[in-house]
Chain A
Amino acid sequence: MSELYSPILLTLMLALCVTLILLPLATPIAWWLAQGRGRGREVVGAVVTLPLVLPPTVLGFYLLLALGPFGPGGALASLWGARTLAFSFTGLVIGSIIASLPFMVQPLRNAFAAIESEVLETADTLGASRWQRFRRVVLPLARPGYLVGAIMTFAHTMGEFGVVLMIGGNIPGQTKVLSIAIYDFVERLEWERAHVLAGGMVVFGFVVIWSSLVLGRDRERSEN
């Protein structure tokens, strides 16, 4: 039974970590892309969107090198006496943050872009600090964007396969996530267990997409 539970728990943990890290990490990027001035926004926008179109194997390949003993990941790992960040939960978090970045940035960017400049100027005129303006004006207005971003990031990380396959090393309880467990069950002809996990993922995916659509509809209603 632990063969089923362990990957589920691990995957939920991974998705939660990635979502919680990406919320603050993607906010300034999305804000600058939506409201910022200056050059280079198209370039950064393109870079941030790249993980959407690149095969996960491309990310996985570069990550395998970057996380290893000859890359920055290895240097970071040596701080606590390890040689590599591959084959570790930390490595999966780093990889999934990169793979899921566009899923968080895109909805936030759209939400920020929809905030009219008059609203922001009014806040400024009333003497709000930048932080106050963000907390009391931007955040409430962008809330649906945050919700959609969080849901999509969580769901995408749950389903991540290629990147994890290439840097995970399939360690039970550490890097053996759901998608890998399904792959292994299929490979070992244990199709019943594969069915349990695969079917669960289908239901989960449907619920996620459906709830995002409902959220989007509610947002449209509140706007009109």
Chain B
Amino acid sequence: MSRILLSAMLLAATALPVMAESVNVAVAANFTAVAEELAAKFEAESGHEVELSFGATGQLYTQITQAAPYGVFLAADTERPEKAIAEGLAVDGSFFVYAQGRLALYGEGVDADNGKAALKGDFAKIAIADPEAAPYGQAAVETLEALGLWETLEPKLVQGESISQTLQFIESGNAELGFVAASQVLGKDVWIVPAELHQPIEQGAVLLKAGEGNAAAEGLLQFLRSDAAVAVIEGAGYSVP
């Protein structure tokens, strides 16, 4: 028994040339499921420990400005990670786009090719994420404007604080339709909004000052760019530039 334990420990020691460290990661709500999968993979591969905190990008950024102990910031936009660097909260040169989101229209009677018809149909409420705080909400507004439906649909809008809450409003039936992230509704009947109808939804990652020199934080960011991670991210309904 002790021999097995000893050899296991030796194995673990050879597999882990670095000391196992842990990192707190602030993750945009839309990336929840993917981040959990990636974190598990990274933990298994590296032996480091990853603690994920999910929230709206704006709220997470606010926490970061107030010295929240996050080592890595996986945002839903590029604005706030860049701002974090500009304000000296994140490490220069650590910024990169880890995923590009796709906007999807989801709800009653929506399928892959009737999105525009559904938007012109008869419904009481359409849910979007708060366009001021959530890039997916901004993209939804741009899409409605591009389709010339903004004036007609604005009175029917309800806003979720985040993309997760937007989905709640649709799932609970309180809103018939809504714009969410394609990654949230994988395998469901949705209309993927053509990319030319809105600005690209680029999600930026950045190494925060609290994560500088932390092997877990730096390793995680490196792992995010690996082929294995890119495959997971693409499999979850995002594209990787």
Contacts and interface: CB of A to CB of B under 8 A. Distances in A.
B159 A186 contact: no
B169 interface: yes
B56 A171 contact: no
A83 B125 contact: yes
A86 B127 CA distance: 12
A149 B146 CA distance: 52
Contact of B59 (A64, A74, A86, A186): A186
A84 B130 contact: no
Chain B, interface residues (CB within 8 Å), range: 20 to 34
Contacts of B58: 186-189
Nearest to B134: A187
Given A84-B125, A170-B159, A183-B161, A69 B130 contact: no
Contacts of A166: 165, 168
B174 interface: yes
Nearest to B133: A187
Contact of B161 (A84, A165, A189): A165
19 contacts: A64-B174, A69-B173, A74-B173, A82-B124, A84-B125, A84-B173, A84-B175, A86-B172, A87-B158, A169-B158, A170-B158, A171-B159, A184-B161, A186-B62, A187-B58, A187-B59, A187-B62, A187-B130, A187-B133
Interface of A: 64-65, 67-70, 74, 82-84, 86-87, 165-166, 169-171, 183-184, 186-189
Interface of B: 56, 58-59, 61-62, 124-125, 127, 130, 132-133, 157-161, 165, 168-169, 172-176
